[in-house]
Amino acid sequence: MPRNAPALPPVAPTVDPRPDDLVELTEGAAISGTPIMMHALSGFLDAGAARHIAVAHLLETLDHGTVATFDVDLLFDYRARRPRMVFDTNRYDSVAMPELLLSRLTDADGVPFLLLHGPEPDFGWQRVTRSVLGLVDRFDVRLTVGLNAIPWASPHTRPIGVTAHATSPDLIVGHRSWIGQVEVPGHLAGVLELALGKAGKPAMGYAVHVPHYLVSAEYPRAALRMLEEVSHSTGLSIPLEALRHKADEADTALDAQVAENAENVEAIALLEAQYDALVGLPRGASGTSQDGTTHEGGPLPSGDEIAAQLEQFLRDLDDGPGESAT
């Protein structure tokens, strides 16, 4: 090196934090019994904003407090998902920094449970997974439940379907399997469920079926169905009247919007015929003939065809831009 060359700055060593270094427990963090833990991470797919609405409803209606926080500086790509800032006249007023939290909530009967919520990490999935497994052990969690919402070729005028999945078939007895094998983009919720299963920890999840034409809108009915399933499978008492009222209002507005356009009415009728045939309802009641075709003469999709449509949608999503931090 030339004598007068500027000195190079010291290189900071690369530190690979232990899994527990990602998590900071709050003072007095404790929970009685063997609680349920839900996890609802944004960033992969949330059709109809159902997961977002469900988490907001839980936090708005139930007593809650933070049990643990994750170091998002080690996990979050700020330049890919820039936090929102407020600039007011001549100064920066605020910034909404991302938070990945484990919260303790109490249901309507006084039963405590845990909720892992916040943005899906961009980095360190395996370290995060090990940290979550550590929290499962620390709080003696007896069951984890993932919340998800996916697009589906179904009308809003029919009951919302649910795809249930679990580390053991015993956890989802009575739930219909809608599709066979399908390839989807990797997501931390799925990785976590796999890891819990390998560790012998019971884990399950629900993916509610959101009508594909409502994927980009807020659809409270899907969030309601999601929480109804969770309440039924876990025994947690979750107040749902406010969310049910919101879902009724949204459905009324949606019906009115559809009725304004004859093409929309026709499209919904075709989806109704497809749905009725798929679930085995009597044919002919919704514009479907006995030979399995709609009144427009088009064939009804098979389960494999629906799976292929879903797989293509998710592949397109994986190739597109990332979600925002909100």
Note the pLDDT tens digit of each residue in 216-263: 999 999 999 999 999 999 999 999 999 999 999 999 999 999 899 888
Q: Decide if 77 is inside a domain.
A: yes
Task: Give a yes or no: residue 106 inside a domain.
Answer: yes
Rounded Cα gap, residues 147 and 156, in angstroms:
20
110 within some domain = yes
CA angle 99, 126, 130 (to 5 degrees): 80
Among residues 204, 219, 205, the alpha carbon closest in space to that of 152 is found at 219
Is residue 6 domain-resident? no
CA–CA distance, 93 with 257 (Å, rounded to integer): 39
- pTM value is 0.81
Residues in contact with 240: Cβ distance below 8 Å, sequence separation at least 6, in sequence order: 224, 227, 228, 231
Structural domains counted in the chain: 1
Write down the pLDDT at residue 323.
43
Give which of 312, 322, 283, 298 is closest to 119, Cα–Cα: 322
Average of per-residue pLDDT across 297-322: 49
- Distance, in Å, from the CA atom of 200 to the CA atom of 292, rounded to the nearest integer, reads 44
In a domain, 280, yes or no: no
What is the pLDDT, as a whole number, of residue 325?
38
pLDDT at 318 over 80: no
Most distant CA atoms of the chain, gap in Å:
91
The rounded radius of gyration (Å) of the Cα atoms in the chain is 23
- Please give the average per-residue pLDDT across 163-183, as a whole number: 90
Q: How far apart are CA 293 and CA 214, in angstroms?
A: 25
Sort 265 into a burial class: Cβ within 10 Å, 0-12 / 13-18 / 19+: exposed
Res. 82 pLDDT band, cuts 50 70 90: very high
Q: What confidence category does residue 181 fall into, taking pLDDT thresholds of 50, 70 and 90?
A: confident
37 contact partners, CB below 8 Å, separation of at least 6? 113, 114, 115, 116, 135, 136, 139, 141, 143, 144, 145
Q: Average pLDDT over the chain, rounded to whole?
A: 84
Bridge partners of 203? Answer: 144
Helix residue ranges, H only, 142-181: none
Residue 262 lies in a domain: no
Residue type, 288: T
Range of the domain at 69: 19-249
CA distances from 135 to 34, 101, 166, 169, 179 (A): 12, 12, 20, 24, 33
Look up the CATH number of the domain holding residue 196: 3.40.50.10900
Confidence of residue 180 (pLDDT cuts 50, 70, 90): confident
294 forms bridges with which residues in the sheet?
Answer: 288
Would residue 289 count as lying in a domain? Answer: no
Taken as a whole, the chain contains a residue count of 326
By the 8 A CB rule, do 278 and 270 touch?
Answer: no
Q: Establish if 304 belongs to a structural domain.
A: no
Using CA atoms, how far residue 59 sits from 63, 64, 68, in Å, is: 7, 7, 16
- What does the block give as tokens for 135? 């929290």
pLDDT of residue 316: 55
Residue whose C-alpha is closest to residue 145's, from 193, 102, 208, 184: 193
Specify the residue for token string 């066979």: 180
